[in-house]
Structure 1
Amino acid sequence: MFGEALPIAEKYAALLAGDGVVRGLIGPREVPRLWERHLLNCAVLAELVPNDADVLDIGSGAGLPGIPLAIARPDLWVTLVEPMERRTTFLEEAVEQLGLTNVEVLQARAEGVSPKGKADVVTSRAVAPLGKLANWCLPLVRRGGEMLAIKGASAPAEIEKFLAEKPSRAKNRPEIVECGRDLLETPTTVIRLVK
């Protein structure tokens, strides 16, 4: 998945297992499954992102999925958007230590990101239910761009609730896509919504 960038991914895994745990960004129980559940789970999102895309990662937290995506795809420009200062501090340090020249960190809430309507892709993972997420993310996406939300088994129920809240949303129905089918024991479930 990471190819020649595997040493960078390994360094990021070490940061998450060390500083990430100490700072409360990753639970200690997550360390044994960092690769499968976090790094690879996020990196396979690269399958859905077009070449040379401008990506906003909303609610980036410890850098997931933005940092693995940026490591796997150096052609992307990834902006990690995170409102909490302690998390953005960790993200800035991680980006510097990893030598990622295709990543920037922005301390902001999704609603505060400007300019609107410029991103090719907006990603998120474990941020909010689909309805809230769409309200925050879709304004940031250019026409024809897409929102990619990593979800789990709740994806079908979230889509049904999303459509039930506003029946007009049915004309642009979100789809469920599985990434990493050939790479992961459990593929990553993504809700894709095209603007």
Structure 2
Amino acid sequence: MTPPAFPAVLRDELQHGLTALGLDAAALTPPLLAYLALLDRWNRTYNLTAIRDPREMVTRHLLDSLAMHRYVVDSGTLADLGTGPGLPGIPLAIAKPQLRVTLVESNGKKARFLREAVRTLGLANARVAESRAEALDEPGAYDAITARALDVLAGIIGVGGHLLKADGRLLAMKGVEPTEEIAALPAGWTVQALHRLAVPGLAGERHLVVVGRAA
């Protein structure tokens, strides 16, 4: 895959960030830049994300999505709910080729972009489900679900909890520690872990909340 012609500083920032996250920068930089180029091109017409600057996308989209990689299994099934332009699902699918990722998105133009991205990037381990999460008729099909900016924890469980296997986990990306959201989890669900994430180049707080069914 020939990397697109982004400025060297952008490429360097991505590589340094991937290395800081403990990922293989040499292997992942070309496909991630190819995804970024496609997103940047489509975004000019379809307004897929409010972030317009590719350098800002490196930090706030690519590295932010991959900051959770240590807590995502290398294989199995994951549904990314309300994935938008594929975040964090596409970066995770690129970084973990044995992980089977379903990109769940109800917005038609975003779903079209996702299908083009999966095709262009050759992501054999990713598929697009053009659907609302609550309408996805795949009960108990997933080892994990994730959501980056979809809803509060209770809301994510409400629309996507049915997709999880009995021992499946919600991996919810949040900013500051969501104390009130944790306290408002529905009966039968509990926080299994809370991880503070370090996103290279990002000053704000990021947390990953791991939620599962109570024993």
Alignment TM-score > 0.5, same fold: yes
Pairwise mapping of residues 1-150 of structure 1 onto structure 2 (< 5 A)? 1=18, 3=24, 4-150=27-173
**Equivalents in 2 of 1:30, 1:22: separation in Å?**
14
Deviations 1:97-155 (A, max 9, x none): 11111100010111111220120010111111211111112211101110011111262
RMSD of equivalent CA atoms: 2.1
Structure having the higher helix fraction is 1
One-letter amino acid of the structure 2 residue matched with residue 84 of structure 1: N
For structure 2, the 5+ residue unaligned runs are 1-17
**Equivalents in 2 of 1:60, 1:150: separation in Å?**
12
Q: Which runs of 4+ in 1 moved over 6 A?
A: none
8 Å Cα contact 2:40/2:52 also seen in 1:
no
Percent identity between the two aligned chains = 32
Secondary structure at the counterpart of residue 96 of structure 1: helix
For structure 1, the 5+ residue unaligned runs are none
The alpha carbon displacement at 1:30 in A equals 4.9
Corresponding residue number in structure 2 for 1:177: 195
8 Å Cα contact 1:178/1:189 also seen in 2:
yes
The reply to whether residue 193 of structure 1 matches residue 201 of structure 2 is no
8 Å Cα contact 1:20/1:62 also seen in 2:
no
**Equivalents in 2 of 1:21, 1:148: separation in Å?**
31
8 Å Cα contact 2:77/2:101 also seen in 1:
yes
One-letter amino acid of the structure 2 residue matched with residue 101 of structure 1: A
8 Å Cα contact 1:159/1:174 also seen in 2:
no
TM-score norm. by structure 2 comes to 0.80
- 1:72–1:24 CA distance, 2 compared to 1 (3 A): same
Deviations 1:146-171 (A, max 9, x none): 001111126223223x24xx5x45x7
The alpha carbon displacement at 1:48 in A equals 0.8
- 1:30–1:142 CA distance, 2 compared to 1 (3 A): farther
The alpha carbon displacement at 1:29 in A equals 4.3
**Equivalents in 2 of 1:174, 1:136: separation in Å?**
20
**Equivalents in 1 of 2:45, 2:178: separation in Å?**
31
The alpha carbon displacement at 1:184 in A equals 5.8
8 Å Cα contact 2:74/2:98 also seen in 1:
yes
Identify the structure with bigger relative contact order (alpha carbons < 8 Å, sequence gap 6+): 1
Q: Which stretch has the larger CA shift, 104-113 or 183-192? A: 183-192
